[in-house]
Structure 1
Amino acid sequence: MSNLNQIGLDKKASNALSEKLNELLANYQIFYMNARGFHWNIKGEKFFELHLKFEELYNDSLLKIDEIAERILTLGFTPLHTFSDYSELSTIKTAKNVSDGKEAVSQILSGYEVLLPLERELLEMSGDSNDEGTNALMSDYIREQEKLVWMYSAYMNG
């Protein structure tokens, strides 16, 4: 019996990666729902600007959710797919009835404080496992999100 999965990676390492990817998936699902709620409920003088930004954010998150789930499947495992699993596993907490722009942006930045360390951990794990597919995804996510942290932080300090 081979120690390798269908794409030639170590099964044990792929299992560990899939578990961590499921943790990332759960956090992204809550992050996505929060961004969607901010988009719907935002009020105030920056409404038009933030309404569009939050739409960009939740659309991007939805793409990442699909990529993460498909990566878990590619590694030979099952992505989590229930809200109860997401709520239980996610470190990001749900944001309810947030309509203030500064509070919403603060919540987005708090979300990145969870997502970025998970992605960096996955980047290291995937590098150690010679898993270029997961590594490339995490590298792209980190680069994009570091820029977003800078931009949202500049908004908060303006």
Structure 2
Amino acid sequence: AKSTKSFRIVSDDLSHDSAHSCLALGKVKEWVDDNLSVYSKVTYVNDGAASHFKNRYQLLEFGKSDCPNTHWMFSATGHGKNACDVLEDSSSIIPHYLVRNNLRTNPESAIRAGRDFVTVLSEKLKGVHPISLKEKKWLPSVS
């Protein structure tokens, strides 16, 4: 059966730089390899953030794809205003779930970090697989 998988990368790291993007895509690839036995097409969708993606490190990682039918789509940042924001309008739905959870639970069970977000909200986010970047790994420099 044909299906689409969407991912949301969650991290407590506030420096969303090129290394962060490479690690995030690595985590998605790891999930796909572990959970999908066969896939015929991979499409990366980027809604802007040129500093994250349009650089030589990211292009090198993108070129390592095992899937011959791999595409990379760029668009302007839309935050719910364009075709790239198809994750149930994740820019508004995900914060809604987070706030609702924290208002309905005791302080000890509140979502306070990226790993809590993934643990608590994984079941509630239909069609989106949240993946936590637990730590920033060292990436070798590319010259």
Pair in the same fold by TM > 0.5? no
Q: Which has the higher helix share?
A: 1
Q: Which has the higher strand share?
A: 2
Instruction: Give the number of the structure with larger relative contact order, counting CA–CA contacts within 8 Å between residues 6 or more apart.
Output: 2
Larger radius of gyration: 1
TM-score normalised per structure 1? 0.28
